[in-house]
Amino acid sequence: MSDKPFNLFEVAQRQFDRAADVLNLNRPTRDLLREPVREYHFSIPVRMDDGEMHIFRGFRIQHNDARGPGEGGIRFHPLETIDTIRALAMWMTWKCAVADLPLGGSMGGVICDPHDLSLTEQERICRGWVRQISRNVGPVWDVAAPDLMTGSQHMLWMLDEYETIYGLRSPGFITGKPVGLGGSLGRVEATGYGVIIAIREALKDLGIKPEKTTASIQGFGRVAQEAIRLYQRLGGTVVCISCWDQKDRTSYAFFNKNGIRLEELLPVTNSFGDINRTEAEKLGYECLPGDAWLEQDVEILLPAAIENQITSENVKNINKRVKILAEGAHGPTNPEADEIINEQGILIIPDLLANAGGVICDYFEQVQGNMNYYWKRDEILGKLDVQMTSAYLSLNDFARKNNIPLRDAAYIIAIDRVAQACHERGWS
């Protein structure tokens, strides 16, 4: 095993190189697409509630905008690194291209831990982030959205700061806004529902009925909660969930062989998606080490927490019964584990497709904002279903014809589309 620290951007670049070889891309196109077109790194001075000043590091990475304005989340995480954000920005470019949206790829973040920050401190970080980057983002250039540990309230503070700076109303600056203030109905559900729509299509292909399946999930945040809701509606049973415990600074898995019940777990879960261990045990859940989510005797594994969770060390613990691994999180499976899982015949629905529901709904939010006309929830979820299903079918079709995994198909289709746009613009 190498001692080199894990670097998500190197993983993203290796994945890119493989697809670039298949597509036989020329040198300028490779050089252009292997790196972000623009990077912004900055300091955000924030006065804390106790009166002390604290300097946070913020980023915005614009990977590629040949197919349209950048779109991508803003993450708050204490272990955030510039290379993680670079990788995520690159993946946003490919994800928008897989879903055939007229958008490019960006990602941003702030190194901070909202668990330890008051709401007013978080508000100042949001406003500080906008003050540093407002000249380089915007509705027709690069649009931000919620991601890990940020939500609609953060988006609204950011929008308010942007509109204050420019002295105008500009709802297209950001997506994931609260409903009633320019946000789209269905955004909360979109990513989690999208994952389950992709799983539903994959199960059809495998000839398995959803009601005959069980699932184990890493994460209990917005993506996981909504995924559970739709999966249970299809008749599936979730037997295990793992999430972070801030007090013990480790993760735990909560197990119930008869199936977890959302309505009893949500009241004992904080806004970060961390379940209170003591309360869950009182409800009868068995508390296991965090990694136990991967070892369950289930048909479906759904990582929906953070990156680099399935590795060459723990991949051997995946149960023989597993048929589908659907990547709700960005980059949860590292390349070594990916190869082993493919060899075991488990179908991986790659993050580029599995979690695309969020960005599809962000696109719907932009369209509705431009029209100043807002669709009903059912209309949005219907459009989401059409878009996710058709992305899955075209990927699956390509993968079958070329006898390659869905992940390779996603990379080849996406990179080809983006390379074509760069070529036609005269960039390569």
Which listed residue (65, 71, 142, 147) binds ligand NAD by CB under 6 A?
147
Which listed residue (329, 347, 399, 410) binds ligand NAD by CB under 6 A?
329
In this structure, is the dihedral angle defined by the CA atoms of residues 329, 330, 334 and 339, taken in order, positive or negative?
A: positive
| Cα of 213 vs its chain's centroid, Å | 24
24 vs 278 by CB, closer to ligand NAD: 278
- Residue 219 interacts with ligand NAD (CB under 6 A)? yes
How many residues touch ligand NAD under the rule CB under 6 A: the total is 28
- Residue 30 interacts with ligand NAD (CB under 6 A)? no
- Residue 242 interacts with ligand NAD (CB under 6 A)? yes
Residues 6+ apart with CB under 8 A from 158: 74, 126, 127, 129, 130, 144, 173, 174
Rounded to a whole number of angstroms, the minimum distance from the CB of residue 288 to ligand NAD is 12
Spatial separation of the C-alpha atoms in residues 92 and 72, rounded to whole Å? 6
- Residue 304 interacts with ligand NAD (CB under 6 A)? yes
For strand 214-218 and strand 237-245, is the pairing parallel, antiparallel, or unpaired?
parallel
Which listed residue (30, 63, 86, 222) binds ligand NAD by CB under 6 A?
222
Query: What is the torsion angle, in degrees rounded to the nearest 10, for the CA atoms of residue 14, residue 19, residue 23 and residue 29?
Result: -50
261 vs 423 by CB, closer to ligand NAD: 261
Asked whether the beta carbons of 84 and 8 are under 8 A apart, the reply is yes
Spatial separation of the C-alpha atoms in residues 172 and 367, rounded to whole Å? 9
Tokens standing for residue 281 = 């045990």
Rounded to a whole number of angstroms, the minimum distance from the CB of residue 389 to ligand NAD is 18
- Residue 148 interacts with ligand NAD (CB under 6 A)? yes
List the interface residues with ligand NAD, window 243-272 (CB under 6 A). Answer: 243-244, 251, 272
For strand 104-111 and strand 70-77, is the pairing parallel, antiparallel, or unpaired?
parallel
Question: What string marks each residue from 163 to 202 as x (binds ligand NAD by CB under 6 A) or -?
Answer: ----------------------------x-----------
Which is nearest to 110 in space by CA: 177, 45, 157? 45
Spatial separation of the C-alpha atoms in residues 191 and 197, rounded to whole Å? 10
Among the residue ranges 47-55, 57-65, 302-310, 372-380, the one whose residues contact ligand NAD (CB under 6 A) = 302-310
Among the residue ranges 130-138, 326-334, 363-371, 403-411, the one whose residues contact ligand NAD (CB under 6 A) = 326-334
Among the residue ranges 204-212, 236-244, 254-262, 397-405, the one whose residues contact ligand NAD (CB under 6 A) = 236-244
List the interface residues with ligand NAD, window 351-410 (CB under 6 A). Answer: 355, 358
Tell me the longest C-alpha to C-alpha distance in the chain.
Answer: 63
| Cα of 411 vs its chain's centroid, Å | 16
- Residue 223 interacts with ligand NAD (CB under 6 A)? yes
Residues that bind ligand NAD (CB under 6 A): 146-149, 191, 218-224, 242-244, 251, 272-274, 290, 304-306, 328-330, 355, 358
